[in-house]
Amino acid sequence: MARRPRVHFPGALYHVISRGNQGQSIYKDDEDHRRFQTLLGEVVKRHALTLYAYVLMANHFHLLLEVSRSPLAKAMQSLLYSYTRYYNQRYRKVRVGSSLELMSWAAGTGVSREIRDISKRDGFVKRRKIDFVI
């Protein structure tokens, strides 16, 4: 059965979760973290998103985003493609077995409780609107 289309309207909030294929690590060092954050900032600007919080874990990440006119799927496709390409080129991975593949899920509005729970548990959530300087 096909997934129903994601609800989209300007101002919608999404809790996005994306993880490495088979639970593999998606960041090997600080350079990988910085690159991901740079790409995230570019996507936020390009798609006029508001990023309220994010958590970067070893094998996954969480984003709390507000969308504008651009659909969330386009922004996530851009972010995941760009970072996967960077990672696979940096570590000379070909798309067989051990290459990085990222999968993502998005929950619609009403996710602030989940983000508060994550911030209490892990202490990694940035608790303010984030403005990127590129």
User: Tokens in use for 65?
Assistant: 């985003």
| Helices 30-46, 72-90: crossing angle, 10 deg rounding | 150
pLDDT of residue 23: 84
Domains of the chain are 17-122 (3.30.70.1290)
Task: Report which of 54, 73, 77, 21 is spatially closest to residue 130, judged by C-alpha positions.
Answer: 54
Residues in CB range of 74: below 8 A, 6 or more apart: 47
Evaluated on CA atoms 124, 24, 13, 33, the torsion sign reads positive
Instruction: Give me the tens of pLDDT residue by residue for the chain, a chain 134 residues long.
Output: 676 777 778 889 999 999 888 888 999 999 999 999 999 999 999 999 999 999 999 999 999 999 998 999 899 999 999 999 999 899 887 654 444 555 556 665 444 444 444 444 444 444 444 444 43
pTM of the model: 0.72
Any residues with CB less than 8 A from the CB of 55 and at least 6 apart, and which?
61, 62, 118, 122, 124, 125
What number of CA atoms fall less than 13 Å from residue 64's CA on the CB side? 22
